[in-house]
A and B are shown apart, each in its own frame.
Chain A
Amino acid sequence: MRGGLSAIIKKELARFFTDPRSVITTILLPGLMIFALYSFMGEAMTGLYRVSDDYEAQVYVVNMPESLRPVLEGQGTEIQTAAPGDLAGLRDKITNKEVDLLVVFPEGFDQAVAARLSAKGGAAEDGVGLSVSPTGLAAPPNVEIYYNSTRTESSGAYEAASQLLQGYRDTLFTTYTVNAVPDPAVASPYDLASAQDQAGFIISSLLPMLIIIFLFSGCMAVAPESSAGEKERGTIATLLVTPLKRHELAIGKIISLSLIALLAAVSSFVGILLSLPRLIGGAPEGMADASIYGLNEYALLLAVILTTVLLFVGLISVLSAFARTVKEASTLVMPLMIAVMLVGVLGSFAGAQSNLLYYLIPAYNSAQCMAGIFSFTPNVAAIGITIAANLVLTAACVFALTRMFNSERIVFSR
């Protein structure tokens, strides 16, 4: 009977889409929740390490040397001078997070530096190697910088101060520089990875795992309800007394449920994409932009995702058909879920697998393919094998489900 398959698909879709509650809970909510959660996480994470722009650091200096005064005071932070007697009190205040930074220069810093400079300079003029330590010279003057690493403002000030002092030291005596940055306000020009590659790198290590998880959750939301649910409510027998072929019922269910699960996964996916810029805070503009991928990547991705969903729905439906109730089905599917997540995570984080046999492993193959596509290094043979393996396994699920719908022990178990 030809109308059977389309009637089943239409019915399953109608059941889902004309019920606002199921549309909201399985399609809209996951995407919204992920967007809200991840945006919030991203905000919270960047907020944790960011100092507000108008923050005035509390900085104290003891024995400010004249040579450094213009450099230090030119930073736009008001620097307060303290007497050596205030040291203990100021250190306590740093511990208590009332003061951010205390810089203590040894007395006679400028003179000590000058003495060492002339000693080294003399040695150089004499043509003696620098490795020979100048004898009869006092130990180098040490600048103490006290700060509190648990306070972001304090760490920030510490980093700025030590950079400044090291920079000053380098200008006094420069042999060579490495990756000198003319203007600290400009991002380092030395990393030549393209913004596209950087985004691909982040996305390829994170997304495949997330997508596998969302695909499976999407399938979990609809498949047990449809096969164990129909058994539980006794509506499946009503279908089985019609001339509808059992394989039409199995295929119809798997196709329609896959469509729904796919939508649920797409919703989660869109939620991630929208929240990525905020999740990867501080990343350069446009870095987490989905538009870095072209039509080819999306087409391959879609093929991998579609066949993965078909397989997941197939597997969950078969397991659920053993169960008498939806609850029992969820319990039965748990081990499968754990296995899929584990294998999916392995596939996402393992380096690209060159042995094509690995692409026969469900979930692992999908994760690997997606990671490859996201990092612009898709392995076409591997993707082909993955898609074929997924389809063959789905066909096996259809076959098993057909057998089960035919089996009175499954349908009319007591």
Chain B
Amino acid sequence: MGVVLRAERLTKTFKLSKKQQNLEHTAETMRTAANNLSFDVGKGEVFGLLGPNGAGKTTTLRMLSTLIKPDSGDATVEGHSIVREPEQVRAAIGFLTSELRLEDFFTPDYLFGFFSQLRGIDAATTERRKRELFERFGISEFAGVKVGSLSTGMKQKASLVISIVHDPGIIIFDEPTNGLDVITARVVTDYLKELRDSGKTIILSTHIFSLVEKLCDRVGIIIEGRMTACDTLDAITRDASLEDRFFELFVEAGGEVA
């Protein structure tokens, strides 16, 4: 199984604003959100980044999807460096997160066409994929309704569909079920399974143990920006449940469970 994504010593430090210091009750002025993170993801694998809030998951995935640049370290996606060849990386991946919004003013139908054009997809392929994906997520009926008038669940489904107009081989998904109602969350996890079964590579982040257990082949546990364990799900959960194993690592890393 070939490696399609390799992260090497990814490090990212943020300056904390005054506002943020107050918000997080801290006097630190710097925060290392990702600290020397290295991991490999094989083709067709589902890789989970598991960690509590603020562990650095979003930061890591944003680096992988080239939205932000690492301070040091690098990662390659299908052989392209996220630092030196961001455009090729962006062409190879689909990045999904609830933070990526669609413009309220447009319809899913228009946006699908727009993003397909941005990604240089021909009209026939665009039409075919639009029909398939809209059908699959029950968007067809609302394809002509402005995003601003859609329900939250429908918006999220539209946003998901539009992130994969180009049928990417690698899908990076930050907190797939965060903020979704139970039904939409189910639709999304089912779809992730489908993608896995069709041979796509998936990298997701979550703080939900059950999601990892349900979907992931391998998992990296990150705590305060550090990779504390990275292995197959089976190897990590040898004798205990994933949750117990996580808290062992958490306490080892100096975390306190009140």
A residues in contact (CB < 8 Å) with B: 1-4, 6-8, 10-11, 14-15, 19, 230, 233-235, 237-245, 408, 411-412, 414
Give the shortest distance, in Å, between B146 (CB) and chain A (any CB). 10
CB nearest neighbor in B for A241: B95
B118 engages A241 (CB within 8 Å): no
B101 engages A238 (CB within 8 Å): yes
B90 engages A242 (CB within 8 Å): yes
Contacts of B87 in A (CB 8 A): 1, 243, 245
> Bound state CA distance, A234 and B114, in angstroms?
17
Whether, in the assembled complex, B76 has its beta carbon less than 8 Å from a beta carbon of chain A, the answer is no
Give the shortest distance, in Å, between A339 (CB) and chain B (any CB). 29
A7 engages B114 (CB within 8 Å): yes
CB nearest neighbor in B for A233: B101
Interface string of B168-193 (1 = CB under 8 A from A): 00000000000000000000000000
A3 engages B102 (CB within 8 Å): no
B118 engages A238 (CB within 8 Å): no
Contacts of B91 in A (CB 8 A): 243
Q: Which 9 residue pairs are nearest across A and B when measured between Cβ atoms?
A: A408-B68, A234-B101, A7-B117, A238-B100, A243-B91, A241-B95, A243-B90, A242-B118, A243-B87
> Bound state CA distance, A10 and B114, in angstroms?
9
Whether, in the assembled complex, B245 has its beta carbon less than 8 Å from a beta carbon of chain A, the answer is no
B106 engages A242 (CB within 8 Å): no
CB nearest neighbor in B for A412: B68
The residue that B67 contacts in the complex, of A2, A14, A235, A240, with Cβ under 8 A, is A240
B99 engages A234 (CB within 8 Å): yes
Give the shortest distance, in Å, between B90 (CB) and chain A (any CB). 5
A235 engages B102 (CB within 8 Å): yes
| Given contacts A7-B117, A242-B115, A15 and B99 within 8 Å (CB-CB) | no
**Chain B, range 84-120, C-beta contacts under 8 Å to A:** 87-88, 90-91, 93, 95, 99-106, 110, 114-115, 117-120
The residue that A15 contacts in the complex, of B20, B62, B105, with Cβ under 8 A, is B105
B90 engages A14 (CB within 8 Å): no
Contacts of A10 in B (CB 8 A): 114
Give the shortest distance, in Å, between B93 (CB) and chain A (any CB). 8
Give the shortest distance, in Å, between A247 (CB) and chain B (any CB). 12
Whether, in the assembled complex, B6 has its beta carbon less than 8 Å from a beta carbon of chain A, the answer is no
**Chain B, range 49-107, C-beta contacts under 8 Å to A:** 62, 65-69, 87-88, 90-91, 93, 95, 99-106
> Bound state CA distance, A256 and B24, in angstroms?
42
Enumerate 8 A-B pairs (CB-CB under 8 Å) in ascending A order.
A233-B101, A235-B102, A238-B100, A238-B162, A241-B65, A242-B119, A408-B68, A412-B62
B90 engages A15 (CB within 8 Å): no
Whether, in the assembled complex, B17 has its beta carbon less than 8 Å from a beta carbon of chain A, the answer is yes
> Bound state CA distance, A234 and B19, in angstroms?
20
The residue that B118 contacts in the complex, of A1, A19, A230, with Cβ under 8 A, is A1
Contacts of A15 in B (CB 8 A): 103, 105-106
CB nearest neighbor in A for B89: A243
B69 engages A408 (CB within 8 Å): yes
> Bound state CA distance, A244 and B86, in angstroms?
10
Contacts of A234 in B (CB 8 A): 99-101
> Bound state CA distance, A240 and B100, in angstroms?
10
> Bound state CA distance, A235 and B118, in angstroms?
15
| Given contacts A3-B118, A15-B106, A241 and B100 within 8 Å (CB-CB) | yes
A14 engages B110 (CB within 8 Å): yes
Give the shortest distance, in Å, between B23 (CB) and chain A (any CB). 9
Task: Beyond A14-B106, A243-B120, list 4 extra A-B contacts (CB 8 Å).
Answer: A1-B119, A233-B104, A241-B65, A243-B90
> Bound state CA distance, A235 and B102, in angstroms?
6
The residue that A412 contacts in the complex, of B17, B67, B103, with Cβ under 8 A, is B67
